[in-house]
Amino acid sequence: MLLLALVILFAFIDTGSHGERISGDQAYSMLTNNEIDEWYAVNGNTIYIRVENSEIPEEAFPTNSDYYVSCDAAFYQRFLDKTLEINADIAGNNVENPSYVSYSPMPEGPSVFDYIMPIMYIILGVVLIYFLFKMFSSNGKGAMSFGKSRARASVNVKVKFEDIAGADEEKAELQEVVEFLKNPAKFTALGARIPKGVLLVGPPGTGKTLLARAVAGESNVPFLNISGSDFVEMFVGVGASRVRDLFDQAKRSAPCIVFIDEIDAVGRQRGAGLGGGNDEREQTLNQLLVEMDGFESNEGIIVLAATNRSDVLDPALLRPGRFDRQVYVNVPDVKGREGIIRIHAKNKPLDENIDFKTLARITSGFTGADIENMLNEAAILAARAGRPKIIMEDLTEGINKVIMGPQKKSRIITENDKKITAYHEAGHAILSSKLKFTDGVQEVSIIPRGQAAGYTMTKPEGDDQHVSINKLNDKIAELMGGRLAEEIVFGDISTGASNDIKVATRIAKRMVTQWGMSQKFNFRCFEDEEEVFIGRDYQAKNTYSEKVAGEIDEEIQEILNRNYERAKKVLLENEKYLHELAKLLIEKETIYTNELEMLLAGKSTEQIVRHMNNEIKKRKKKEEEAKAEFDLIKKVKESEIKVKTAEVFLKNGIISKEDYEKIVAEKEENVKKLQELKDKKAKKEELKYAEVQEVKVEEKPETDEKPAEEEKETKEIKEENSVSAKKPRKPRAKKQDENKEDKGE
């Protein structure tokens, strides 16, 4: 088809520009008036004309021309005779530089192209008929393959269970599926049957597809994967046909795994609903039900499916015999997040001071996809700053970027807005620090990010499965801190607390209507959290009277009012810290846990600013040292390559021995500098470690008798301090890290 189109284009579309078509009389008049510089005849029936002072260059003629005229043989002969007559007159005038009319008459008769084109049309016709015959007679393949499955087969999948963290129970469930595929006789001997289907259910980004790929990788069987939306097309019956073809393909590859991603696209519950049913989708679902557990058995085929909307799936699809198991892939806990961070950090150069436990705590609620994105953002930030390693600041910025978006430092903010934002965020931070059941503050910033003018980031100690009423009340009070700070300081309020109000109201409403935390209603639920969708629940009806609805509103308002007064009291008691923290935020824009703790411990703003500036200087110096080490390592590698190349050149006589020795000396100099830098760094670590140990010894209570272990440890420290700096104490550093982990530092 493509070849035919090209030939037609070539035959009927002329790539040149032949200008305006004129009549024979106009052309003859132009020739008589000496307006024509050159003309070209084709087959005696078309004349292309280039006029005097034409913009068309000579080399482009006759592909491009100013005018052309269609003519017969008589006009052509007359035009040629007139041209010869004009040229004869010019020659008789004895002009020094005569300007003749150039012409190129062609002999009449068909061109080579006229002979080739009919043959080309015949060949193209035969080829076209051949392809059409092949497409219509190949059992539905090619253009007629609408009913064929689009499943993609994968063999030797490289993903293993060891590449997945934060889903230990889920992996244990799926490990049995792998055992079934590897050694089915072990289970059939006891009368157990292979599970026909496993449904992976969980929020987006938790690793459902990754787990399915790991099952295929561990079991070493063919893996057919398809999306639920690939079944249904615009043609009637295509979905059911593709389901049949998918399972036929799976039977030929058995034992194998069939993975259907986003199965809710095809497995949604049947029913009329609003606007009528969907016969095509239901027909596809019916065929899927039959193939999974129908009249014919599919031995050796395990169906894995993933969805984040199990509530909309048809009950017939979820029954035992089709999906025997439902594995819930939840958001990872703090331990799981730490494992995921370590896996994704394997191929990234991280600074040695990175605290994985702290990262796991401050990424509460993150899925595996969020963590991978966070580490990628941190790597991009480090590369943008020109750092050879990813530091903790890059990771915290990556977390903030995932949660709230990038910083908007270029946004113009008035001094008044900056002051309001500073007091607003200071109110949140003070309440978060002073209330008993709130999470600790990780970071406070007044730099705009996303839709927020500022933010206060908290650091949960762990992932609480059960949230107490005290924690919910403190959370509501904390959310009110921004509005209350504005009211206390300015005697006015702004729109900046709109999201805080929304979240606080939602928590209070759930406390009354869902969680039974109301003093008046106590153990009673007024709402459920089932999502409404067409086909099951079109109208949500209240199960309580208007009077009860009014009482619910009163209870919600009572919770909000009580926490508002409680939060206001705490802020008034700590108004001094509120002003100091706002002042610090206006000056530094962003502060962290250490600075907030220093402020609440009684340190002045000036002392905290000095501390922050010193920390910035230390960090910059450390980055410079790391960059210097990175550059030296790069130079050493380049020097080694140069030396190897120079050895070859020396053997072939391309360079002299003196030049070779210079290159070797340059390499040795770079190696020496790198070693000196490493020795210096090791010495610093030694001194730092010794200082830490001295502080720990001083902090211990004085006793009359010194334990034998402490004497032994002191002796080891003295011996290690006498060791050369070239031999850093790695085992001691490891012990120090373990102590830090035990104390939660």
Q: Which helix (H) or strand (E) holds 21?
A: strand 20-21
Helix (H, G, I), strand (E, B) or coil at 708: helix
Residue 458, marked binder: no
Residue 424, marked binder: yes
User: Alpha carbon of 320 to those of 132, 139, 259: distances in Å?
Assistant: 47, 36, 18
CB burial of residue 630 (10 Å; 0-12, 13-18, 19+):
middle
Q: In what order do the strands lie in the sheet with 152-154?
A: 152-154, 223-227, 256-261, 301-307, 197-201, 325-328
| Tokens 């702290």 belong to residue | 358
**Interhelix angle 546-573/575-588, nearest 10 degrees:** 80
Active site residue 625: no
Bridge partners, 197 (sequence order) = 303
Bridge partners, 440 (sequence order) = 459
Residue 367, marked binder: no
Q: Which token pair is 357?
A: 């436990």
Are the CB atoms for 433 and 456 separated by under 8 Å?
no
Residue 109, marked binder: no
Are the CB atoms for 381 and 219 separated by under 8 Å?
no
Strands 67-70 and 20-21: parallel
Which of 617, 614, 609 shows the shortest CA–CA distance to 586? 609
Tally Cβ neighbours within 10 Å of residue 401: 19
Are the CB atoms for 202 and 330 separated by under 8 Å?
yes
Which of 248, 235, 335 shows the shortest CA–CA distance to 287? 248
Residue 500, marked binder: yes
Residue 206, marked binder: yes
Strands 301-307 and 256-261: parallel
Q: DSSP alpha helices (H): ranges in 305-391?
A: 315-318, 334-344, 356-362, 368-385
Bridge partners, 257 (sequence order) = 223, 302
CB burial of residue 125 (10 Å; 0-12, 13-18, 19+):
exposed
Q: Which helix (H) or strand (E) holds 723?
A: none
Amino acid identity, position 350 = L
User: Alpha carbon of 183 to those of 172, 176, 214, 297, 345: distances in Å?
Assistant: 16, 10, 17, 19, 35
Q: Which residue is catalytic, options 282, 425, 580, 686?
A: 425
Alpha carbon distance 353, 363 (integer Å) = 18
Alpha carbon distance 124, 103 (integer Å) = 38
Give 407's DSSP letter.
Answer: B
Alpha carbon distance 526, 514 (integer Å) = 6
User: Alpha carbon of 582 to those of 419, 421, 587: distances in Å?
Assistant: 8, 9, 9
Alpha carbon distance 147, 142 (integer Å) = 11
Calculated CA dihedral for residues 563, 568, 574, 576, nearest 10 degrees: 150
Residue 645, marked binder: no
Which residues, at least 6 apart from 349, have a Cβ–Cβ distance to it below 8 Å? 388, 389, 390
Residue 349, marked binder: no
Give 269's DSSP letter.
Answer: P
User: Alpha carbon of 475 to those of 131, 593, 675: distances in Å?
Assistant: 71, 19, 53
Are the CB atoms for 357 and 741 separated by under 8 Å?
yes
Tally Cβ neighbours within 10 Å of residue 213: 22
Residue 182, marked binder: no
Beta strands in 338-466 (DSSP E): 440-445, 455-459
Residue 209, marked binder: yes
Residue 207, marked binder: yes
Q: Which token pair is 135?
A: 């497409």
Amino acid identity, position 584 = L
Q: Which residue ranges are tagged as binding site for ATP?
A: 202-209
Q: Which residue ranges are tagged as binding site for Zn(2+)?
A: 424, 428, 500
Residues carrying an active site annotation: 425
Q: Which residue ranges are tagged as binding site?
A: 202-209, 424, 428, 500
